[in-house]
Structure 1
Amino acid sequence: MTDVSITEPARPRPATVTAAAAIMIFMGVAGLVNAVVGLAAVGGVVDRFRSAAEATGASQSDIDGLADVAWGTVIAGGVLSVIFAVLLIALGVGNLQGRNGARIATWIVSGLGLLCGCCGLLAVVSQSALTWNVSTNNQTEDLTQALTDAYPDWWIALNGVVSAGQALGYLVVALLLALPASHPYFRREASAVPVPPVTTPPFPTIPPPPPR
């Protein structure tokens, strides 16, 4: 008897899946680069802010508080960038391998990322277009405006591009994985199909002659 197994051939990876994974990995790396740039530049921002804040007559504790906010914002953004980078790269690899769980997780992350990107873009636009008016205390307004003015123009432009690119990238990734061309690649691959063993029917036997 012979037990033969037939294995289904490897599924070809659609271009839509490859493109989605490539975008995810690129977004993860770009987020890390942006975080490094922010950490490298925030020191100069805080120095310019402290110099301008001294002319407002604000107390040292108020100046230190806003300086800590500037540092904390960049550090928190850097930590989130690392987390999202690791997550995006891991999900990108999972999508390349045709794991449906990775595709579902990518849709969830894309929804959250799209929301964060839109919020970030709104914050950048607000920072570049509005003048602070947070209280009736002119000194507080001047201090907060000094922090806003301490950021270089390229900082606002870079964060605007990153936020817009982030929102667009998550949207494109979600759409690519939802296209009909991507569906077959994420279907569960059939395992080896066993073929029933071939048995030879027994030869008929001739009963012995009865005794005489």
Structure 2
Amino acid sequence: MSDTSPPKTRPGSVTLAVWLQILLALFLLAQTALSFVYGPDAADAAEDALEAQGVAMSDLPQGTSFESGPGALVFNIVLAALLVVLALLNGAGKRPARVLTWVLQPIILVCTLAGMLSTLFLSQFLSYAFENSGDETLEALDVDAIVDAVTGAYPSWTAVVSYGALALGILGSLLVIVLLAVPSANAYFRKEEPEKFIPGAPPA
């Protein structure tokens, strides 16, 4: 015979961490949907902007692309699914999920920072690549016109999704790491030893 402990009450710190993970997953899926739906239009817009300057896509340095490849889209979907699973397990107080979250969220933070830098300095990166191509035609390209054409192919609310994913990927990841490490979260995830009943022993 043993006493059954009442279920633990989930603290607000863990609940907030769970919702931050779920929100990040939703924004990642929204970004993926945008890339899937409007990526081909963005590539066409870039090609038109290049042709207006007398250059074809085939003239660009190898590997230059203006849309996300299928690998990146699948990666985002898998990452979003993993975040949802970890969020649900964290909400249930599963200790392995918290450890995996502490591994995954810093990786997401670094990847988000890298993505932010590549987006902010897209024009500079392209200009550098074209200027070092050794092709006078590419060196004379109006890179800003190409970038404007690409961004113009996406709907106006794309910025909301992008900034939301950025905030959740950086600030949200930091918050999740901290929230799952505060004392209330530690108590929630702490493994409780079952109480043993010893016949004849006085109650504790």
TM-score (norm 2): 0.81
In structure 1, the residue matched to 2:138 is: 140
In structure 2, the residue matched to 1:123 is: 118
Shift in Å, 1:177? 0.5
Shift in Å, 1:131? 6.3
- Residue 117 of structure 1 aligns with an amino acid whose one-letter code is T
Map 1:123-202; keep pairs closer than 5 Å. 123-127=118-122, 132-134=127-129, 135=132, 136-141=134-139, 145=143, 147-152=146-151, 154=156, 158-191=161-194, 193-198=195-200
The percent of aligned pairs where both chains have the same amino acid is 27
Which deviates further from its counterpart, 45-54 or 137-146?
137-146
User: Equivalents in 1 of 2:9, 2:160: separation in Å?
Assistant: 41
Shift in Å, 1:18? 0.7
User: Are 2:40 and 1:43 equivalent residues in the alignment?
Assistant: yes
User: Equivalents in 1 of 2:138, 2:22: separation in Å?
Assistant: 42
Shift in Å, 1:11? 1.3
Residues 14 and 91 in structure 2, CA contact (< 8 A), matched pair in contact too: yes
Three-state SS of the structure 1 residue aligned to 2:196 is strand
**Structure 2 unaligned runs (5+)?**
none
User: Are 2:60 and 1:58 equivalent residues in the alignment?
Assistant: no
Map 1:61-140; keep pairs closer than 5 Å. 61-62=58-59, 69-71=65-67, 73-127=68-122, 132-134=127-129, 135=132, 136-140=134-138
Residues 47 and 57 in structure 2, CA contact (< 8 A), matched pair in contact too: no
**Structure of higher CA gyration radius:** 1
Count of residue pairs the alignment pairs up: 193
Q: Structure 2 vs 1, CA of residues 60 and 101 (structure 1 numbering), >3 Å: closer, same or farther?
A: closer
Shift in Å, 1:185? 0.5
Shift in Å, 1:64? 11
Q: Structure 2 vs 1, CA of residues 31 and 60 (structure 1 numbering), >3 Å: closer, same or farther?
A: closer
RMSD: 2.8
Residues 63 and 143 in structure 1, CA contact (< 8 A), matched pair in contact too: no
Shift in Å, 1:63? 6.0
Shift in Å, 1:66? 6.1
